[in-house]
Amino acid sequence: MRIWFDADNGPHVLIMRPLIEHLAAQGHDLLVTARDRTRTCELLDLYGIPYHRVGGEYRPGRLGKVAGTLGRATALARAVRGWGADVSFGHGSRALPLASRLLGVPSVTMYDYEWVNPTLFNRFCRSILLPRVIGRERCREAGIRIERVRFYDGLKEELYLSQRMPAPPDALADLGLRSDRLKVLLRPPATTAHYHNPEAEVLLASVLEHLAGRPDLQLVYMPRTPDQRELIPAGFRGEVIVPQRVYDGPTLIAAMDAVFSGGGTMTREAAVLGVPAYSFFRGRQGRVDEWLQEQGRLVLLDDPAAVSRRVQLVRREDAAAPYPLNTSLVEQVAGLILAAA
């Protein structure tokens, strides 16, 4: 079978890598297209995955995103026409289902934040893969066509955290991380995302103020945009490290004593790995993050005045045990993709 993968964002590369390896080992032909944004192409290079670069950043604003999606869908269809794909797979890529419809290829999408606008996926995807913890009732509330949903067991992060990771760059030595310092990774919110709420930036300021008083701290700061580099307050007593190259994210997270993020993959990776995780995402809360908080593996920060009380920095050896991983998830998801062809 010929399977077309489209990596639309950096985290999608980690999700797709084990699926690509599994399906290739089964003898399937694979083609990967990639949107050149958020270091997606650099991560594909890091993992040695061949790909075709199609499209990049869209113009800002709703109209810019709509025009960018339509333009990229046309470019994808042009790039893949003639290859003869039997099925396409993306993780929330909006251009892929459109391009697939133009080519008459059944398309599968996968995502784990139920509050994205599902209209395009409902109409153009044959299957929508979601973690079972979201449940049918939340799907209906979010407007997702339940007859198209296929639930999988576990969290998407388990696809790659349950697999053997490739040998990464030595991030600890490269970044100068020290065993005698408290190591914290911080990722600001995605201010250009459609779900962004400015309250997240207020919470970020409170988090940075709380961390600023720790001289024993090494802060690995990963800004999404150049202007976010200026958010570190004057008088920050610890050491601030801004990585200048792409690293294997899970390996870097596993070396931390705590992870803070404005939402998304990094906090869930930390929660699964047993690293204390704090989210200051202020969009509508997704069921996966609610569930992780119920399990005591993620702290959802929602009050700037309560940050100093709710954030408890401890050495990694005092943190929670890793989450029990579903080692058969890759096989399960690969089977769901093949079943849609």
Please say if the pLDDT value at position 140 is more than 50.
Answer: yes
pLDDT attached to residue 166? 46
Residue (of 168, 132, 161, 171) closest to 149 by Cα position:
132
Taking a C-beta distance cutoff of 8 angstroms, is the pair 184, 256 a contact?
yes
pLDDT attached to residue 61? 84
pLDDT attached to residue 321? 67
Residue 158's pLDDT band (cuts 50, 70, 90): very high
Taking a C-beta distance cutoff of 8 angstroms, is the pair 33, 80 a contact?
yes
Least confident piece of the model among 179-188, 216-225, 317-326: 317-326
C-alpha to C-alpha distances, 269 to 12, 62, 78, 138, 334, nearest whole angstrom: 13, 30, 35, 23, 21
pLDDT attached to residue 191? 65
Lookup: tokens for 187:
């990722």
pLDDT attached to residue 170? 66
36 contact partners, CB below 8 Å, separation of at least 6: 53, 55, 56, 57
pLDDT attached to residue 260? 97
- CA geometry: angle 40, 43, 49, nearest 5 deg: 105
pLDDT attached to residue 248? 77
Lookup: tokens for 238:
């610890």
Mean pLDDT of 202-222: 93
Residue 46 backbone class (left: φ over 0; alpha: ψ -120 to 50; beta: rest): alpha
**What does the mean pLDDT of the chain come to?**
91
- Domains belonging to the chain, first-starting first, are 2-162+327-339 (3.40.50.2000), 171-318 (3.40.50.2000)
CA distance 20 to 296: 32
287 contact partners, CB below 8 Å, separation of at least 6: 114, 133, 134, 135, 138
The rounded percent of the chain whose pLDDT value lies above 90 is 71
Q: pTM to 2 decimals?
A: 0.90
pLDDT attached to residue 162? 85
Least confident piece of the model among 63-77, 137-151, 160-174, 281-295: 160-174
Mean pLDDT of 238-262: 88
Please say if the pLDDT value at position 203 is more than 90.
Answer: yes
Which DSSP string do the residues of 239-259 spell out, in sequence order?
Answer: EEE---S---HHHHHHT-SEE
Lookup: tokens for 57:
């950043």
Q: What is the pLDDT of residues 35-74, one digit of tens each?
A: 999 789 999 998 999 999 999 999 988 899 999 999 999 9
Mean pLDDT of 101-108: 98
Please say if the pLDDT value at position 255 is more than 60.
Answer: yes
Residue 168's pLDDT band (cuts 50, 70, 90): very low
The rounded percent of the chain whose pLDDT value lies above 70 is 94
Please say if the pLDDT value at position 167 is more than 50.
Answer: no
